[in-house]
């Protein structure tokens, strides 16, 4: 999949299911439950045993799915994930080697940041999407400040985002929201409950139509006409 296609799918879906399980079978079943609930962008955390195999098995399903690898800490893991069919690579930290590996093979990179300095480091490394992690630690207001300071960046909050606060995270400047624990915690082996929560998340995301990432319209008021500002030395 071309990078531009991955970005389009992420922007359209607005929800990325982050799946982190204790075994590959549970991860695969959870992913299928999310798909049944309408989520077609899924991220398999590399802390999941045999996580690369899960990435491959889901990527082979096709059907318009966008499969990525998460919690990627180094370039070799990124390359392995790409070989297994990952269309994007997410990390909780900024690792320039991981970003370069993704650029080399035309895969979307999502390095994790928390501070303004880390955001700049990610942008300078060539990040396609800046992941804010853990987003819930300082809340949506922290994200709003980062969007204001870096209007050129494309953000994706993750780590604590869920159904109750989804509208607070899906704001202009955000391409999609990564949701993990809210989808799987306390669900146990009840994959039907995972599917139900996935449907709820997708329904809530659809209600935010028009608020998704629109770089060209951010900080712009097309209805007002003002005289040009002349800057004299």
Tens of pLDDT along 139-172?
Answer: 999 999 999 999 999 999 999 899 999 999 999 9
Given a cut of 80, is residue 39 above it in pLDDT?
Answer: yes
Beta bridge mates, 43: 18, 68
Contacts for 221 with CB less than 8 Å, ≥ 6 apart: none
DSSP label at residue 171 = -
Superfamily covering domain 3-217: Aldolase class I (3.20.20.70)
Mean pLDDT of 191-205: 96
pLDDT confidence band for 233 (50 / 70 / 90): low
Contacts for 180 with CB less than 8 Å, ≥ 6 apart: 17, 18, 19, 20, 45, 158, 159
Helices marked H in the chain — which ranges?
A: 3-13, 24-36, 51-59, 75-83, 96-104, 116-125, 139-149, 166-169, 181-184, 191-206
pLDDT score for 189: 81
Beta bridge mates, 42: 17, 67
Q: What are phi and psi of 47, to 5 degrees?
A: -80, -10
pTM across the whole model: 0.89
Strands ordered across the beta sheet of 15-19? 108-110, 88-90, 66-70, 41-45, 15-19, 177-179
96-104 vs 116-125: helix crossing angle, rounded to 10:
30
In this predicted model, what pLDDT tens digit does every residue of 97-131 receive, in sequence order? 999 999 999 999 999 999 999 999 999 999 999 99
């Amino acid at each position: 999949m071309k990078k531009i296609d991955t970005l389009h799918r992420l922007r359209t879906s607005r929800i990325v299911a982050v799946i982190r399980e204790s075994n590959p079978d549970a991860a695969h079943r959870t992913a299928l439950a999310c798909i049944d609930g309408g989520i077609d962008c899924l991220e398999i955390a590399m802390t999941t045993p045999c996580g690369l195999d899960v990435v491959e098995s889901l990527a082979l399903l096709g059907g318009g799915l966008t499969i990525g690898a998460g919690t990627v800490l180094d370039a070799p893991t990124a390359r392995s994930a790409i070989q297994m069919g990952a269309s994007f690579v997410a990390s909780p930290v900024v690792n320039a080697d991981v970003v370069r590996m993704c650029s080399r093979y035309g895969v979307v990179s999502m390095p994790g940041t928390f501070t303004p300095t880390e955001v700049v480091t990610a942008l300078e490394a060539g990040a396609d999407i800046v992941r804010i992690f853990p987003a819930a630690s300082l809340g949506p207001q922290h994200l709003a400040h980062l969007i204001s300071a870096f209007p050129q960046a494309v953000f994706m909050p993750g780590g604590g985002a869920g159904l109750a606060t989804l509208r607070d995270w899906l704001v202009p400047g955000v391409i999609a929201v990564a949701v993990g624990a809210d989808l799987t915690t306390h669900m146990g082996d009840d994959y039907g409950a995972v599917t139900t929560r996935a449907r709820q998340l997708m329904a809530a995301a659809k209600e935010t139509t028009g608020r998704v990432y629109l770089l060209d319209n951010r900080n712009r008021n097309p209805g007002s006409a003002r005289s040009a500002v002349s800057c004299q030395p």
